């Protein structure tokens, strides 16, 4: 899987409700519910409770970030 494929797949989620699971260091896991608001060359943004959060496509590739339709 490469960056272009992930970007194309994320473009399908634009303006849709998603669940974003983030697996961090030291077993700190976060789950966000929001709407994908932007698709950019290296990141995508999700509007969560009025706050923009950005995520890297590379994190999706390695599995640290998982995006699913809500």
The tens digit of pLDDT for each residue in 5-40 reads 999 999 999 999 999 999 988 889 999 999 999 999
pLDDT of residue 37: 97
pLDDT at position 25, please?
86
Q: Could you write out the three-class secondary structure of 34-70? A: EEEEEECCCEEEEEECCEEEEEEHHHHHHCCEEEEEC
Domain locations in the chain as residue ranges? 3-69
- Please give the backbone phi and psi of residue 2, each rounded to the nearest 5 degrees, phi first: -125, 175
Q: Quick check: 62 pLDDT over 90?
A: yes
Mean pLDDT of 50-60: 96
Q: What CATH topology corresponds to 3-69?
A: SH3 type barrels. (2.30.30)
Predicted local confidence at residue 65, as pLDDT: 96
């Amino acid at each position: 899987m490469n960056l272009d494929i992930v970007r194309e797949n994320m473009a399908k989620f634009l303006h849709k409700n998603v669940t974003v699971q983030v697996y961090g260091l030291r077993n700190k896991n976060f789950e966000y519910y929001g709407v994908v608001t932007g698709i950019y060359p290296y990141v995508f943004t999700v509007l969560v409770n009025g706050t923009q959060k950005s995520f890297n496509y590379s994190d999706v590739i390695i599995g640290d970030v998982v995006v699913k339709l809500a």
